Amino acid sequence: MAYFAPVNGDSQPVFALDTQNGPVAPSTSLAGQPVQPQGPKLDFFRLVANTSVNGEGGVQEYVANVIQAVQRTATVAMYQVDGVAISFATYPTGAFGDSAANPPTTTSAAIFLAAANVTYTGFQLDSCTSVGFKLST
């Protein structure tokens, strides 16, 4: 069976969205360079409302307004509505106060809650955690 030696291509990351800005030189070390081709690193938050928000998904309704409020600070990569809970995955990481000095904790959840808590008759967000994304049950 014939074999042709490739004249281009290497094992360097094609996508390195979290660590590099631009192409990676072939001579660059691979050590410590995560490769995440599915997209950027995400932060996860779960909001809990005072009542069910399942029926509030229309234009200019509560869920849409919360998403727009969150997107003033970060991009919403995905979200899930489940009864009184709304889970979010956002990027860039650290947009809501996470950093080396302030890792994902109650503080970042409080910042997220303050950003997302919009004025809307009959609805309010009571709490937020930054522990992960909850899929609907």
Per-residue pLDDT reduced to its tens digit, 33-56: 555 556 678 888 999 999 988 888
Are 128 and 112 in contact by the 8 Å Cβ rule? The answer is yes
Both tokens assigned to 88 = 């979010």
Strand residues in 63-109 grouped as ranges (E): 75-82, 85-91
Segments making up each domain of the chain, as ranges = 1-38, 43-129
Q: Is the pLDDT of residue 26 over 80?
A: no
Backbone angles phi, psi at 67, to 5 degrees: -60, -45
Annotation: CATH topology of 43-129? Alpha-Beta Plaits (3.30.70)
Q: What is the pLDDT of residues 73-108, one digit of tens each?
A: 999 988 888 888 888 988 888 888 755 555 555 568
- pTM metric for this prediction: 0.66
